[in-house]
């Protein structure tokens, strides 16, 4: 907000006030509206200063020359003042207090002053509650809390857990009971309750946390069932805050969410199928969907194992009950709930009856989900279910505490079904999830991979790969085969087919991300071939071993892929992946080469990858032509052995230019005059404060234009 911007805003505010003159209203109403306009504009300036942290000692002038705080308090406490003036003056009082505590001018505001101010604010909250200005109440609470914490910090005080969470003398003891009392006795209509609860959500997160824990305990005391359900509906929207992981101790919120779940599970007017449902089905869906989302957020944010809170049986039972006639949104939420519970769940006593019950509930719920995926055609059903199965497969990789999940996939047709429809499902997300399931499963040799072996999944994958349409599916499939070759030894026929498929994918696929992922596959191939080399020997047989490794890599197609990518590829990121892999190959082979041998790499206009020996090696029996590496890879006899991969592509020059350009940019940044920039900021800030003072003069001089009753409530004191 520059000085010019402030001036424009001020002109707009004055223009708005002048427009009031043309309205057909009384003189008192016109005067009230003008005053509200001026105070609102002043609030906007103060808020801007707060948000930008532009408070300086110049604020001392405002407090010494204008007793604004007392003037605002007179507006708030006078019963004859219009409610709009009360609202604007209340916020003005809070802004001024917050500014003052940040400046801590002359050390005048002691802790006693702070507590006195809080008592004053409580009276303000009480007055505004009776006027049903709920949002204003919580704005006052929030800004007062911030003011207290900022003051303690400025004065060198210690912000403990208690006073940082909440000023107990202000909120916990006085405000919360007052708020609950207001809810039960003042709020009479649905609209008022909506406004009240929306005001709760607009307050600070610390206020909200304390309030929610009190609020849930009061739900059972509200006799009107419709109001109760609406209260829960609004309360569970705290997921907006939980999503940002703002609570350091979200365990309390998780307990709160489980309490709400259990309350709903026990409500006859809602859950009993034999009695008429009190709420319309649409309202029930809305409540439960929001409730699920909030509980999921709580589980994700909780730092304590889920099992330490409560057993999962009530949640699992509720999920299974809700599957009957569930909507797509409910199905997705139930799957998300189950997935997060499975991720967090660790049974405390593996042999207890409770574990047996929970295992049966898990199995029944997964079976129910699996059956529903066959009844619905929407891809969201399939993808949500696959996410649950992926989570299950991931839990089985770690054998610790997985007894409860061990047999959930045995004896079922889930894996066959994923093979039948998952890998070829006409949706990129479902396909990607299906491939991801097999990628995770292949890491568990004791359980999941036996299904993959018995069903020849890899062969099926290679057959599908040629016809895959979605890039996401191709990337997931490549990651799957990477896990296969990393973990298991394949037969020669399958291995050759795999290399052929990956050779064509790396060179011919139209998507650069697929190609880049394919180089990760070739990196695993290189690692596998180099795994058998020993560093210690430095004789001729070891050189032959290195030579054999390179020859075998040529047979896989890896070296040809590197050469062709450098010669023919035009995408910089794919070239970068190829160069990175070449560097890795050179670095690894340098370790294994005997002394006197080295692998060199120089990026010139004729860049090349060179393996050479300074020794005369005459007894290596090999043909000058090596078919496996074609024309780009050859052995030279004479003064030494060489393996050369030539690259004449100019794309690396482009990358070099990018890096040079970046260096020049940072060099230019170093030349920026920091002092000059700081001075300009100070000038801008001084302009804001000068404008603020002029606005204060303007606001406090308007009393001459007001009727007597306006002057009598405080303006005439100046």
**Largest alpha-carbon pair distance within the chain?**
115
Q: Are 568 and 515 in contact (CB under 8 A)?
A: no
Question: How many helices and strands, by DSSP H and E, does the chain display?
Answer: 33, 3
How many Cβ atoms sit within 10 Å of the Cβ of residue 233? 17
pLDDT (tens digit per residue) in 173-197 = 344 444 544 555 555 555 555 555 5
The whole-number pLDDT of residue 314 equals: 63
691, 3 in Cβ contact below 8 A? yes
DSSP string, 270-287: HH-TTS--SS-HHHHHHH
Cα dihedral 95, 97, 101, 107, rounded to 10, equals 150
Asked if 101 and 147 touch (Cβ cutoff 8 Å), the reply is yes
Query: Please, which residues have CB within 8 angstroms of residue 18's CB and are 6 or more apart in sequence?
Result: none
User: CB burial class (10 A; 0-12, 13-18, 19+) of residue 324?
Assistant: exposed
Burial annotation 112-122 (CB, 10 A radius, 16+ → b, else e): eebeebbebbb
Mean pLDDT of 288-302: 56
Q: pLDDT-based confidence at 428, cuts 50/70/90?
A: confident
Q: How confident is the model at residue 55 (pLDDT cuts 50, 70, 90)?
A: low
Contact 232, 221 (CB under 8 A): no
- Name 402's Cβ contacts closer than 8 Å, sequence gap at least 6: 395, 396
pLDDT confidence of residue 405: 60
Name the least confident of 217-231, 286-300, 430-444. Answer: 217-231
* CB-based burial label for 484 (10 Å; 0-12, 13-18, 19+): buried
- Residues 319, 364: Cα–Cα separation, whole Å: 11
Spatial distance between the Cα atoms of 655 and 651, rounded to a whole number of angstroms: 7
What is the spatial distance between Cα 357 and Cα 594, in angstroms, rounded to a whole number? 63
537 half-sphere exposure, CB direction, 13 A CA radius: 11
The token pair that represents 487 in the structure block: 């973990």
User: What's the CA gap between 132 and 142, in Å, rounded?
Assistant: 18
**Average pLDDT, stretch 272-295?**
48
Helix residue ranges, H only, 219-276: 225-235, 239-242, 251-265, 268-271
Residue 20 has pLDDT above 50, yes or no: no
The per-residue pLDDT for range 120-162, each reduced to its tens digit, is 566 666 666 666 665 566 556 555 555 544 444 444 433 333 3
- Residues 571, 515: contact at Cβ < 8 Å? yes
Using the predicted structure, report yes or no on whether residue 618 has a pLDDT greater than 60. no
Q: Where are the domains of the chain?
A: 1-109+685-718, 305-398, 505-661
Distance CA(254)–CA(175), nearest Å, equals: 24
Please tell me whether residue 436 adopts helix, strand or coil conformation. Answer: helix
Cα separation, 671 vs 23, whole angstroms: 58
Distance CA 54, CA 52 (A): 5
The pLDDT tens digits of the residues spanning 512-571 come to 788 888 888 888 888 877 765 554 444 444 555 666 676 677 777 777 777 777 666 666
Quote the pLDDT of residue 86. Answer: 74
pTM of the predicted model over 0.85? no
Residue 329 has a pLDDT of 72
Write down the pLDDT at residue 211. Answer: 54
DSSP lists the bridge partners of residue 607 as 647
Q: Which two tokens stand for residue 537?
A: 């020997």
Query: In angstroms, rounded to a whole number, what is the distance separating the alpha carbons of residues 645 and 563?
Result: 6
Mean pLDDT across 621-637: 31
pLDDT for 237 equals 46
> Which of 174-188, 211-225, 481-495 reaches the highest mean pLDDT?
481-495
pLDDT of residue 1: 40
**408: pLDDT confidence band, cut at 50, 70 and 90?**
low
Q: What is the rounded distance in angstroms from the CA atom of residue 653 to the CA atom of residue 169?
A: 68
% of residues, the chain, pLDDT over 90: 0
Listed in sequence order, the residues at least 6 apart from 159 whose beta carbon sits closer than 8 Å to its beta carbon are: 149, 152, 153
At residue 245, does pLDDT exceed 60?
A: no
pLDDT digits (tens, 9 = 90+) for 325-382: 667 777 777 787 777 777 666 655 555 555 667 777 777 777 777 777 777 777 777 7
pLDDT for the residue 698: 44
Q: Evaluate whether 257 touches 291 at the Cβ level (below 8 Å).
A: yes
> Rounded distance, CA 676 to CA 49, Å?
22
* Three-class secondary structure of residue 643 per DSSP: strand
Nearest Cα residue to 332 out of 380, 366, 299: 380
Would you say how long the chain is, in residues?
A: 718
Q: What is the 3-state secondary structure (H, E, C) of 105-156?
A: HHHCCCHHHHHHHHHHHHHHHHHHHHCCCHHHHHHHHHHHHHHHHHHHHHCC
């Amino acid at each position: 907000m520059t000085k010019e911007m402030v001036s424009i805003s001020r002109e707009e505010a004055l223009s708005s006030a002048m427009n009031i003159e043309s309205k057909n209203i009384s003189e008192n109403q016109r005067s009230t509206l003008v005053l509200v306009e001026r105070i609102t504009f002043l609030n906007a300036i103060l808020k801007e200063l707060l948000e930008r942290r532009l408070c300086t000692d110049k604020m001392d002038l405002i407090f010494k020359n204008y007793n604004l705080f007392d003037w605002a308090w007179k507006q708030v406490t006078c019963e004859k003042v219009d409610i709009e003036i009360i609202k604007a003056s209340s916020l003005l009082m809070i802004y001024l207090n917050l500014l003052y505590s940040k400046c801590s001018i002359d050390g005048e505001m002691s802790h006693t002053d702070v507590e006195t101010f809080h008592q004053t604010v409580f009276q303000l909250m009480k007055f505004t509650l009776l006027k049903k200005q709920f949002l204003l109440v919580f704005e006052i609470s929030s800004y007062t809390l911030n003011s207290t914490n900022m003051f303690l910090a400025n004065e060198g005080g210690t912000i403990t857990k208690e006073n940082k969470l909440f000023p107990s003398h202000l909120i916990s003891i006085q405000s919360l009971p007052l708020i609950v009392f207001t809810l039960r006795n003042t709020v009479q209509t649905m609209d008022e309750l909506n406004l009240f609860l929306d005001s709760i959500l607009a307050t600070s997160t610390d206020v909200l946390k304390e309030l929610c824990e009190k609020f849930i305990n009061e739900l059972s005391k509200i006799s009107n069932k419709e109001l109760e359900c609406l209260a829960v509906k609004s309360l569970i929207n705290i997921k907006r805050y939980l999503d940002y992981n703002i609570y350091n101790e979200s365990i309390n919120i998780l307990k709160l969410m489980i309490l709400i779940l259990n309350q709903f599970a026990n409500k006859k007017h809602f859950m009993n199928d034999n009695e008429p449902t009190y709420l319309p089905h649409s309202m029930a869906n809305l409540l439960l969907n929001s409730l699920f989302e909030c509980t999921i957020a709580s589980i994700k944010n909780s730092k304590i194992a889920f099992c330490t809170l409560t057993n999962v049986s009530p949640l699992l039972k509720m999920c299974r009950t809700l599957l009957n006639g569930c909507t797509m949104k409910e199905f997705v939420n139930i799957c998300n709930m189950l997935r997060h519970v499975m991720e967090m769940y660790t049974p405390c006593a593996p042999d207890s009856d409770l574990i047996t019950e929970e295992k049966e509930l898990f199995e029944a719920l997964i079976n129910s989900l699996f059956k529903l995926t066959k009844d619905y055609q929407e891809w969201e059903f399939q993808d949500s279910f696959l996410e649950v199965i992926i989570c299950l497969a991931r839990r089985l990789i770690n054998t610790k505490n997985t007894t409860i999940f061990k047999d959930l996939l045995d004896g079922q047709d889930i894996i066959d079904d994923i093979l039948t429809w998952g890998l070829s499902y006409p949706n990129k997300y479902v396909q990607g999830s299906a491939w991801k399931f097999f990628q995770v499963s292949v890491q568990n040799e004791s359980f999941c991979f036996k299904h993959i072996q018995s069903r020849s999944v890899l062969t099926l994958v290679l057959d599908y790969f040629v016809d895959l349409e979605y890039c996401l599916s191709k990337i997931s499939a490549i990651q799957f085969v990477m896990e296969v070759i990393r973990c298991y030894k394949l037969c020669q026929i399958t291995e050759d087919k795999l290399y052929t498929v990956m050779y064509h994918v790396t060179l011919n696929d139209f998507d650069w991300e697929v190609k880049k992922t394919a180089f990760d596959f070739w990196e695993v191939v290189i690692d596998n071939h180099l795994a058998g080399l020993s560093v210690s020997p430095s004789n001729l047989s070891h050189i032959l071993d290195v030579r054999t490794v390179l020859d075998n890599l040529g047979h896989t197609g890896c070296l040809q892929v590197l050469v062709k990518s450098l010669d023919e590829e035009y995408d910089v990121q794919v070239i970068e992946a190829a160069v990175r892999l070449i560097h890795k190959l050179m670095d690894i082979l340098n370790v294994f080469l005997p002394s006197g041998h080295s692998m060199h790499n120089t990026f010139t206009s004729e860049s090349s990858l060179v393996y050479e020996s300074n020794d005369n090696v005459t007894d290596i029996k090999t043909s000058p032509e090596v078919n496996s590496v074609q024309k780009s890879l050859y052995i030279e006899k004479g003064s030494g052995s060489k393996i050369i991969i030539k690259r004449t592509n100019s794309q690396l020059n482009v990358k070099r230019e990018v890096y040079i350009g970046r260096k020049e940019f940072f060099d230019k940044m170093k030349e920026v005059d920091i002092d000059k920039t700081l001075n300009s900021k100070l000038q801008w800030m001084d302009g804001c404060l000068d404008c603020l003072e002029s606005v204060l003069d303007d606001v406090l001089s308007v009393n001459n234009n007001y009727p007597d009753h306006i002057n009598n409530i405080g303006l005439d004191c100046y």
